[in-house]
Chain A
Amino acid sequence: MPRAKLQTLTEQMFYTLLCLREERCGIDILDLVPAITGGEVTVGSGTLYTLLDQFLTEGYIRETRVEGRRRSYILTKAGAELLEREYKRLTRQAEDYRKYFGGEEIK
């Protein structure tokens, strides 16, 4: 579910998919995203609910287990490809930045 006009993922979309490289439930994702980003990125409960629902509908993740209210998910092949496409796009941007500025800091 990349943003239609931009064909890119928002930070929350990116990190939600990243967390689902391994089987995890929603609460795990809520805790893991701030942990792996040093608190730079947080995912709200409503945002995560909507993302999981839409990623599931579009086949980027699949449900693996249901335990009471808790549902676990894992990335599918389509989800992994989407994530990889975004990684390559971000890497290309970072490389272009380095080429342009030659590693200097912007003054």
Chain B
Amino acid sequence: MKDTLRQFEVFPAFDGAGIAAHLEKMAERGWRLQKLGPFFWTYRRAEPRKIAYHVSYFPTGSPFDPALTAGEDELGELCVHAGWRLAAGDQRMRVFYSEDLSAVPVETDPWVETAAVHATAMRTAVPMAVMLLLSAVYMLFGTAQGLFGGFSGLSTAFCAGLSLLVAVYYALELGAYFIWHTRSLKAALRGERGRYPRVAGVMRALQWTAFFALLAWGLGAAVFGVGAERLMSAALLLAVAAFAGADGLMGRLRRAKASPWLNRAVTFCLTAVWFAATVWIGAAI
């Protein structure tokens, strides 16, 4: 019997309530969160039971810095005092759990909570999502204009489809976030929390579709494609690998307690590779 479970998880980055509800269901099935990864989350087997989870966001946390600030260290002590323990997380997002279902919630003021989430979002995920949405729209326009030179019709259709998937994915993520933020500001006036739009299922389906389409086309073009298609498939796969690698490597370097400057430099280089590959594909189109 396996004692650990790695599961592909996709949630809107700031749907803390949705993430907590999912983790509570997993705990009832006997799996407790152990580690958050960029794509896969690790769970450990435990006695099935009801546990309360909470996700907190930190606008001042740096994803590059292995050290906790004095304030973040203080938070750990406050949570322990209130009956909450850290399950997993990083400098921007932390997941707490409590076996005492009557413990005072980690967040008791919806206004303060909304402000903290929004500050974190505007510093990290929103600029990144806007950049990726614009890149996808740029590629979509290129393919729509049919400027694919010597590429096959299949490759053109693939690029248009993939760009559309990416554009829809990030438009959905941004749209859902801003709908939630507007709802939360209104709800906070009544002392309530805003409900996050239910987009996690669609986002998960889009990610799987994009992943398998990319894999199939990349391998197909590399083996059967003409010269330009081979180069393009290599660039596209490189772009995706660099994008995924930058996110994963940033966390690994932080956990290995690498200096923030080294982490920033490595992440910057990988992001530059991703950007160059995207521009190259755009130019080819």
Name the contact of B77 in the complex, choosing from A3, A43, A47, A69 (C-beta under 8 A): A69
By the criterion CB–CB under 8 Å, are A44 and B106 in contact? yes
Q: Is A27 within 8 A of B104, CB to CB?
A: no
- Interface: B108 (CB within 8 A): yes
A to B CB contacts below 8 Å, 14 in the list: A3-B111, A12-B108, A42-B108, A44-B108, A45-B79, A45-B82, A46-B75, A46-B106, A47-B113, A48-B78, A49-B71, A53-B71, A66-B70, A69-B76
State in angstroms the CA–CA spacing of A11 and B188 once bound together.
12
Q: Is B84 an interface residue (CB 8 A)?
A: yes
- Interface range on chain B: under 10, 10 to 19, 20 to 34, or 35 or more? 20 to 34
User: How many chain-A residues does the 8 Å CB contact rule pick out?
Assistant: 25
Q: Is the interface of A mostly helix, strand, loop or mixed?
A: helix
B-contact 0/1 string along A60-74, CB 8 Å cutoff: 000000100111000
Q: Which residues of A contact B266 (CB under 8 A)?
A: none
Query: A19 an interface residue at 8 Å Cβ cutoff?
Result: no
- With a CB–CB cut-off of 8 A, which chain A residues contact B3? none
Looking across the interface, which residue of chain A has its beta carbon closest to that of B73? A69
Residue numbers in B under 8 Å from A46 (CB-CB): 54, 56, 75, 79, 96, 106-107, 113, 116
CA distance A3 to B76 in the complex (A): 26
B37 at the interface (CB under 8 A from A): no
Task: Tell me whether B105 is interfacial, beta carbon within 8 Å.
Answer: yes
Chain B residue nearest to A43 (CB atoms) is B108
Looking at B54, B107, B108, the one whose CB has the most chain A CB atoms below 10 A away is B108
Instruction: Tell which of A12, A51, A69 touches B74, judged by Cβ atoms closer than 8 Å.
Output: A69
Report yes or no: A44 in contact with B105, Cβ–Cβ below 8 A: yes
Q: With A30-B82, A45-B79, A45-B106 in contact, is A50–B74 under 8 Å at CB?
A: no
